[in-house]
Amino acid sequence: MKKWQNGRVLKKRVSTMNLKSKENLIGYVFISPWLIGFILLNIGPMIMSFIFSFTSYDCFSSLKFIGFNNYISMVTNDSLFKNALLVTFKYVLFYVPLRVVVALTIAMLLNQQIRGMSFYRTIYYIPSILGGGVAVSVMWKMILSKDGAINALLGMLGLEGPNWLADPNTALFSMVIMSCWAFGSAMVIFLAGLKGIPKELYEASSVDGASPVRQFFSITLPLLSPVIFFNIVMTLIDGFQVFTQAFIMTSGGPLNSTRFYVLYLYQNGFQYFRMGYASAMAWILFIIIMGFTLLIFKTSAFWVYYQSVEEGK
């Protein structure tokens, strides 16, 4: 009797174990495409890249370890690297705030329950569809040329425009404007965020006599801060990786004023075949992006308003 019971318990345990491990197995079967991709296309190459960054690899000869030399020469004797870093920082410094402010402004205008909202939304979103692609870059290159459409418009106003992309003083600025032109995705996210703010707050505050400006600073801005935070982070990550525009429109010129970080990285890797050096540059970029993202995360405690925390009060 006892023996039989033990046997039954055991059997039951075995069968639940089987069930559990079968579930495990099926789970891994389902995620296996990603898992394989993760190992072969993500983590494997990342380890390789880390190793490359300590070598003078050029894709043809065998690996030769040179210690920290790649990292050291970046700082000590590569003025183009410092230039690329500076140019990219400058770009990001203007691009991120401008894009976020424009996207938020347009989103707020569109959120006024006006007629034709979806029509406007479509129009403002169009540039984002084409992104920073080749066709868009070619188009901008043409309208920004000396006798291009922008200068023709300025001419109508009696102004003489510069040769935007050939002048080191305006080339970077032109690219900032062109990139901000594609603010549509940030705008759509802002719109969704604005829709989530309860209308009662505005109604109640206007009964109390709050001006629209006051409402913006006391209701909209705090309640939207998580979305603002999100858009800043995304735009920042995007901004550090700017490449196609510069590649197509200026090839980094004039006078290196648009030789962005990723463009210089590409040139090192695939034009000069300094793949070890390019790998080291990629890691520095990774650290910079991570650092900034973390910085924004850390400071977010001071300016991002999370409703759930405050609700208890």
The correct pick among 104, 107, 228, 282 for binding other proteins (CB under 8 A) is: 282
Exactly one of 100, 136, 242, 246 binds other proteins (CB under 8 A); that residue is 136
From candidates 286, 297, 303, 306, binder to other proteins by CB under 8 A: 286
Dist. CA 143–CA 156, nearest whole Å = 15
Least distance in angstroms from the C-beta of 261 to other proteins: 9
Q: Residue 157's CB: how many other CB atoms inside 10 A?
A: 7
Scan residues 145-164 and list those touching other proteins (CB under 8 A). Answer: 145, 147-149, 152-153, 155-156
- Are 241 and 266 within 8 A, CB to CB? no
Stretch that binds other proteins, among 30-38, 78-86, 88-96, 303-311 (CB under 8 A): 30-38
Residue from 98, 201, 221, 289 touching other proteins (CB under 8 A): that is: 289
Which of 16, 23, 203, 295 binds other proteins (CB under 8 A)? It is 23
Per CB under 8 A, the list member of 81, 140, 164, 292 interacting with other proteins is: 140
By CB under 8 A, which span of 79-87, 162-170, 188-196, 298-306 interacts with other proteins? 188-196
Of the candidate residues 166, 234, 296, 304, the single one contacting other proteins (CB under 8 A): 234
Structure-token pair, residue 81: 């690297």
Binding other proteins (rule: CB under 8 A), the pick from 10, 290, 297, 306 is 290
Radius of gyration of the chain (CA): 27
**Which residues, in sequence order, are CB contacts of 158 under 8 Å at separation 6+?**
none
Question: Where does this chain touch other proteins (CB under 8 A) — which range of 72-80, 85-93, 112-120, 300-308?
Answer: 112-120
From 7, 44, 97, 198, residue interacting with other proteins (rule: CB under 8 A)? 44
Rule CB under 8 A: choose which of 189, 210, 221, 296 binds other proteins.
189
Under rule CB under 8 A, residue 304 binds other proteins: no
Q: Which is nearer to other proteins, 9 or 39 (CB)?
A: 39
Amino acid at 58: D
Footprint of other proteins on 247-276 (CB under 8 A):
247-248, 262, 265-266, 269-270, 275
**Nearer Cβ to other proteins, position 219 or 234?**
234
Contact between 26 and other proteins by CB under 8 A: the answer reads yes
| Binders of other proteins in range 68-107 (CB under 8 A) | 106
DSSP assignments along the chain, one per residue: -HHHHHHHHHHHHHHHHHHHHHHHHHHHHHHHHHHHHIIIIIIHHHHHHHHHTTB---SSS---B-TTHHHHHHHHH-HHHHHHHHHHHHHHHHHHHHHHHHHHHHHHHHTS--TTHHHHHHHHHHHHHHTT-HHHHHHHHHHTSTTSHHHHHHHHTT-----GGGSTTTHHHHHHHHHHT--HHHHHHHHHHHHTS-HHHHHHHHHTT--HHHHIIIIIHHHHHHHHHHHHHHHHHHHHT--HHHHHHTTT-STTTT--HHHHHHIIIIIS--HHHHHHHHHHHHHHHHHHHHHHHHHHHHH---HHHHTT-
When asked if residue 279 is in the footprint of other proteins (CB under 8 A), the reply is yes
Task: Pick the binder of other proteins from 19, 59, 255, 295 (CB under 8 A).
Answer: 59
Q: Which stretch binds other proteins (CB under 8 A): 158-166, 168-176, 240-248, 297-305?
A: 240-248
